[in-house]
């Protein structure tokens, strides 16, 4: 029982629990955005976007493929919202932050040790190095 308690108290388990809760809340926001804003916008241009009544009859069986089409369109809209409102801005901010963090060291061409950029000689192998650009 002590090992289980230690496992639960690890930071990654708590982080995962927080991520699940935040993800569920964010899912509600995205679904509301799709259902309340995007779907009416699409219906304004292309008619009512409800395909649930579409079916194919083979013999005595009805294949209701309209629900699948609705789910597929909903998935694509949610994926687009996630990409353009979360992934793309996050990637942009991450790239901007990475550009600000410029390395203050470089590798020695002789021994591949890490030396300061303004150094003219390697502290490890005493090799002369060209000035950093």
* 115 burial type by CB count under 10 A (0-12 exposed, 13-18 middle, 19+ buried): buried
Element (H, E) at 63: strand 61-63
Q: What pLDDT score does 56 carry?
A: 92
Q: What pLDDT score does 133 carry?
A: 67
The tally of CA atoms less than 13 A away on the side-chain side of residue 2 is 0
CB atoms within 10 A of CB 77: 19
Query: 94-104 burial, b for 16+ CB within 10 Å, e for fewer?
Result: eeeeeeeeeee
Q: What pLDDT score does 89 carry?
A: 92
Mean pLDDT by 10 residues, the chain (133 residues): 76 79 84 77 72 85 84 82 88 84 84 89 89 73
Q: Alpha helices, DSSP H only, in the chain?
A: 2-8, 11-33, 39-46, 66-82, 88-100
């Amino acid at each position: 029982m002590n090992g289980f308690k230690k496992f639960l108290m690890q930071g990654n388990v708590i982080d995962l629990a927080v991520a699940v809760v935040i993800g569920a809340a964010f899912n509600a926001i995205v679904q509301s955005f799709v259902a309340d804003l995007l779907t009416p916008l699409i219906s304004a241009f292309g008619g009512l976007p409800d395909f649930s009544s579409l079916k194919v009859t083979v013999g005595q069986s009805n294949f209701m493929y309209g629900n699948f089409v609705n789910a597929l369109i909903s998935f694509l809209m949610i994926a687009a919202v996630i990409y353009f409102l979360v992934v793309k801005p996050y990637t942009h901010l991450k790239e901007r932050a990475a550009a600000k963090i410029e390395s203050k060291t470089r590798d020695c061409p002789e021994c591949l040790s890490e030396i300061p950029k303004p150094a003219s000689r390697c502290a490890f192998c005493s090799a002369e190095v060209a000035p950093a650009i």
